[in-house]
Structure 1
Amino acid sequence: MEATPQDGVVIAAGTVRGTQSFVHVLSQCWKNPQWTALEVLWRWIYGIPALLVLWYQGTRILQAAPLDVKALKSMSILDAMGSSKTLADAMAVVLPPVAHLLVWLGPILVLVWVVVSSVGRMVVLRRVDSRLYVRLGTLIVLQAVRVVALLGSFAVWFLCMEWAAQLNITRPIAAGGEPNLVGYCSLAIVGTLGLFSLWAIASWGLSVAPLLAMLRNIGVGKSFAAAFRLGPLKSKLMEINLVMGIVKIALIVLAMVLSATPLPFEVVATPQFLTWWWAGVTVIYFVASDFFHVARLVSYLELWRAYETDEGSLLR
């Protein structure tokens, strides 16, 4: 089934808000579960082997590291300072081999992700609209740029968390005072949510560029140029991307709530039940997240089709 601007409210995309068309797209994606199934398939084709490799390497590191397992198990939030020291000692032992592992394994995982995600995204988009051109090489380059930008955002987040730790924990302890754990947690939460929202607002161009390459059969440079010259369509794409960020936060909070639901019954709940429960919550979260990723792509596509009244009018 192809997504066309004649399918419902998107025909009036020039007069409605981006989120209004997005609501229609959610219904459309729900009626076409094969789109989400393809998204889940290509992500898990990469994700399951990657997790197995990380599990194997992580197990090797933990078995070789001289960790004080008894001290780790006895950590309590009531003894924040003692637990922090225990955790710091464990991290000092584990981090060097982890850093050594990431030096060679990290680039391999990123490279494979770029290729697999480009192929998977192209398959999903062509399933939604078979009129799209095949631009695999262009999509790989565009996805690589997006991944580099995303890794850069993680680096900024880490630097912000490091600054918050120095301000509220390291400096007070060095001065002979008490660490401000409440201040650190507050800055960590606000900073994380702020950077997450900023990425959701600013990254729309990186998300729409591959779609434009397939829509117009153009290369990397023209795709990036077109992505940031969309006229009145830009605000609607930014709006949808921001809504997607909010949805992502809501899914994370919902997953945390569901994960904590059995804890009051931990006395009667077996470890096996808790393991299966948490595994189920994780699977539901990933499937729901993939569904909204597909909905965002379809909404981008439908908005473009609805606005495209003249040949190349949005590329001027």
Structure 2
Amino acid sequence: MAASFNDGKGTIVSAGGGDVRATQSFVRVLSECWKRPTLTAVEVLWRWLYGIPALLVLWRAGMRIAAAAPMSIKALESMTVTQPMKVAETIAEAMADLLPPIAAEAVWLGPLLLVTWVVWSSLGRTMVLRKMDPALHARPWTLMVLQAIRIVALAASFVVWFLCLQWAANMTVTGPLSHGGEPNLVGYFALAIIATLVLFVLWAVVSWVFSVAPLLAMLRNVGVGASLASAFQLGPLKSKLVEINLVMGIVKIALIVLALVFSSTPLPFESVATPEFLYTWWAGVAVLYLVASDFFHVARLLGYLRLWRAYETPEKESQN
């Protein structure tokens, strides 16, 4: 039995026999986001209203750190990549001087930025979702708790990533050096890249829960526990959400690669290009990357909403 959901804007997501092709519906969602630029504009607005002041605060903190260890900063600036072992020694020595002032700044700045992000991002996410669908319930306090849980999970993933890099360094660099052998830098970078990609994919597979839980809280007007429990009890819809999240992971990698390619485009003309031009070019590439990333963030949320409506509507109709 086929069912469908029409959102009133001409976007129809079909569910034939309870099955929705997530990638096909996501293409329609991308088209809808493109036709509704105000959604991306609101996303960009709330993110940049936080990001620009945060960057200014981090810049001031960085200046204080550099003033506390000027010789270490000069040593880092004078490094050459043609001598990797010398670079490693320079970084180790510089970090020994830089870590105390970094820790002093991080003690107060880290919690401040995290708490501000939790509060501000929850309000911003509420604005975007309510603009997508005015029927959603505003649950800013619930979203704040869910955002805090997501940050803890993300921090745990970074800890795992760091431990993987540490293991790779022990296997290929410090281990051979301790036995009088030669370090295997190619092996280290290969293991580091593989570990990064594997953890990136794993995060894409599991992180959909933290993205869909706020949406469920606003859809069903429930609290933290109920929204998280509902996120794990979506039945066949779960695989569709995982599929969209994996697609978003691939898109993220593609955006990073494109940003790197465009950033390196002027380098062959470095002899004739002025530093001001290069800085302007790199700033422009960074802005385009951030806007594109925000666009796909909105598309993912809208894709979740459309899929949920497509599955939920037939279910309610069958019960009636």
- Shorter-chain TM-score category? over 0.9
Structure 2 contact 139–221 (Cα < 8 Å) conserved: yes
- The structural deviation recorded for 1:96 is 1.9
2:84 partner amino acid: A
1:8 partner amino acid: T
Q: How does 1:100-249 map onto structure 2 within 5 Å?
A: 100-249=104-253
The answer to whether 1:310 aligns with 2:315 is yes
- The structural deviation recorded for 1:68 is 4.5
Residues in 2 aligned to 1:6 and 1:59: alpha-carbon distance in whole angstroms: 50
Higher mean C-alpha displacement, 159-168 vs 226-235: 159-168
After superposition, give the CA deviation of every residue in 1:236-256 in whole Å (9 maximum; x if it has no partner): 000000100110011011111
Residues in 2 aligned to 1:312 and 1:190: alpha-carbon distance in whole angstroms: 47
1:213 partner amino acid: A
Q: Which runs of 5+ in 1 are unaligned?
A: none
Structure 1 contact 196–245 (Cα < 8 Å) conserved: yes
Residues in 2 aligned to 1:5 and 1:166: alpha-carbon distance in whole angstroms: 58
The answer to whether 1:86 aligns with 2:96 is no
Residues in 2 aligned to 1:263 and 1:294: alpha-carbon distance in whole angstroms: 33
After superposition, give the CA deviation of every residue in 1:16-43 in whole Å (9 maximum; x if it has no partner): 4111100000000000000000000111
Q: How does 1:17-32 map onto structure 2 within 5 Å?
A: 17-32=21-36
After superposition, give the CA deviation of every residue in 1:187-209 in whole Å (9 maximum; x if it has no partner): 11111111011000111111100
Higher mean C-alpha displacement, 152-161 vs 93-102: 93-102
Higher mean C-alpha displacement, 13-22 vs 240-249: 13-22
Q: Which runs of 5+ in 2 are unaligned?
A: 1-5
- The structural deviation recorded for 1:70 is 5.0
- The structural deviation recorded for 1:12 is 3.3
The alignment's TM-score, normalised by the length of structure 1, stands at 0.94
Higher mean C-alpha displacement, 65-74 vs 110-119: 65-74
Structure 1 contact 65–94 (Cα < 8 Å) conserved: yes
| Aligned length in residues | 312
Q: Which has the higher contact order (CA 8 A, sep 6+)?
A: 1
Computed over aligned residues only, the root mean square deviation of the Cα atoms, in angstroms, reads: 1.8
After superposition, give the CA deviation of every residue in 1:150-190 in whole Å (9 maximum; x if it has no partner): 11111111111111112111111121111111011001111
Match of 1:12 in 2: 15
- The structural deviation recorded for 1:286 is 0.4
Residues in 2 aligned to 1:7 and 1:151: alpha-carbon distance in whole angstroms: 40
2:257 partner amino acid: V
- Please state whether the residue corresponding to 1:67 is helix, strand or coil: helix
Higher mean C-alpha displacement, 129-138 vs 13-22: 13-22
Residues in 1 aligned to 2:11 and 2:125: alpha-carbon distance in whole angstroms: 25
2:271 partner amino acid: V
The answer to whether 1:51 aligns with 2:55 is yes
- Please state whether the residue corresponding to 2:14 is helix, strand or coil: helix
Q: Aligned residues: percent identity?
A: 65
Residues in 1 aligned to 2:8 and 2:155: alpha-carbon distance in whole angstroms: 35
- Please state whether the residue corresponding to 1:268 is helix, strand or coil: coil
2:185 partner amino acid: L
Residues in 2 aligned to 1:312 and 1:300: alpha-carbon distance in whole angstroms: 20
After superposition, give the CA deviation of every residue in 1:89-145 in whole Å (9 maximum; x if it has no partner): 111111221122212211111111011110000000000100000111111111111
- The structural deviation recorded for 1:67 is 1.8
Higher mean C-alpha displacement, 59-68 vs 198-207: 59-68
Structure 1 contact 138–220 (Cα < 8 Å) conserved: yes
Higher mean C-alpha displacement, 100-109 vs 131-140: 100-109
1:205 partner amino acid: V
- Please state whether the residue corresponding to 1:130 is helix, strand or coil: coil
1:10 partner amino acid: V
